[in-house]
Amino acid sequence: MIKIGMGLTGFGVFFLFFGMILFFDKALLAIGNVLFVAGLAFVIGLERTFRFFFQKHKMKATGFFLGGVFVVLIGWPLIGMIFEIYGFFLLFRGFFPVVVGFIRRVPVLGSLLNLPGIRSVSNHIFGNRTFKPSK
C-alpha cells in the first residue's frame, strides 16, 4: 500500500507542478490535488490522515488547504493555489526543518545548502535541526 501511496503522491506533485508550469491549468491542478490527497491517505492510512488534517490546532491550515482544493475544483486555479500553498506551509511547517537537515546530508544538494549565505538563511527560517537516520 505504501508503494501505491508514494506513486499517487508523486504523480500528484507532478500534476500540480505541471499544472502551474502550464499557466495554472485547472484540469491538471485538480487531478494533482486529488492524487496528492489520495496518496497521502494510502501512505499513512485513512484514519491517521483524518486525524492529521483535523487536529484542533491545525484547523486554520486545513481550512486553507482544503478550501484551496475546492476553489481549484470550481474553476479559479490561481486563487485556489495561493490558498493551498499557504495551507500546505501551515500544515507541514513542522516537517521542514527535518527535510532541510536531510537535504544537507545529500552530497550535491548538501554542499549548496551549506554555502555561507544560504546556510544562514535556512538556519534562520527552518532552524538548525539536523537529520539523524534511524539505525
Q: What is the pLDDT of residues 106-121, one digit of tens each?
A: 888 888 888 888 888 8
Confidence of residue 99 (pLDDT cuts 50, 70, 90): confident
Confidence (pLDDT) at 29 = 93
Q: pLDDT value at position 129?
A: 57
CA 93 to chain CA centroid, Å, is: 9
Cβ partners under 8 Å of residue 42, min gap 6: 1, 2, 4, 5, 8, 9
- Residue 72 near residue 30 (C-beta atoms within 8 A): yes
pLDDT at 7: 94
Q: Is residue 123 part of a domain?
A: no
Does residue 111 belong to any structural domain of this protein? Answer: no
Domain-embedded: residue 107: no
Residue 60, domain member (yes or no): yes
31 located within any domain: yes
Report which DSSP code applies to 94.
Answer: T
Is the distance from CB of 35 to CB of 11 less than 8 angstroms?
Answer: yes
Which residues constitute the domain of residue 38? 1-97
Q: Residue 126 falls within a domain, yes or no?
A: no
Q: Is residue 108 part of a domain?
A: no
Residue 85: other Cβ atoms inside 10 A: 15
Q: Is the pLDDT of residue 87 over 90?
A: yes
Q: Is the pLDDT of residue 128 over 80?
A: no
Task: Pick the most confident of 64-73, 115-124, 125-134.
Answer: 64-73
Residue 130 confidence (pLDDT) above 70? no
Counting residues of the chain whose pLDDT is more than 70, the rounded percentage is 94
Q: How many domains are there within the chain? A: 1
Count other C-beta atoms under 10 Å from residue 54's C-beta. 11
Instruction: Judge whether 72 and 98 are in contact, CB under 8 Å.
Output: no
The more confident residue out of 58 and 122 is 58
Does residue 116 sit within a domain? no
